[in-house]
Amino acid sequence: MDEKIACVFCNGNANVAFEELTLLNGKIILWNQPYYKCNKCKKEFVTSEQMLRTEKELKTHFAFNRPIISTGRSLAITLPTDLVDFYKLKKGTTVRLVPEDNRTVKLVV
Ligand SMILES: [Zn+2]
């Protein structure tokens, strides 16, 4: 990542800076996310490279692999403690499974 790039708005000098990024209404906080701030017009922006980095970090921190287990006649997956704490889940909480496409199911809390 370059320390300095040309501002996308005014072509002035933009320096890299870091901030904490809050997502999902404060449920997820990523520290030290890079962005650029222009010295001339004072506008702030991120490059696609920075966006990709942020996305990757998000997926690394909040994606988990879980095997499918069987409980009696049903199949089940267990939830990692990090997710349980994060979304304040407890036994008896109803969650909703929403199919996104033929490879993705979203869990809605
Ligand atoms: Zn600028």
Q: Which secondary structure element, helix H or strand E, spans residue 86, and what is its range?
A: helix 81-86
pLDDT digits (tens, 9 = 90+) for 63-103: 778 899 998 888 999 888 877 887 889 999 999 999 989 98
Judged against a pLDDT cut of 90, whether residue 56 lies above it is answered with: no
Q: What is the mean pLDDT of residues 27-38?
A: 85
Length of the chain: 109
Tell how far the Cα of 27 is from the centroid of ligand 1, in angstroms.
32
For the domain bounded by 4-62, which CATH number is listed? 3.10.20
Q: Which residues crowd ion ligand 1, with CB under 5 Å?
A: 7, 9-10, 12, 38, 40-41
Contact 9, 45 (CB under 8 A): yes
Give the start-to-end residue ranges of the domains of the chain. 4-62, 69-108
- Residue, of 53 and 27, whose pLDDT is higher: 53
Question: Ligand 1 centroid vs 43 CA: distance in angstroms?
Answer: 6
pLDDT at 24: 65
Max Cα-Cα span within the chain = 66
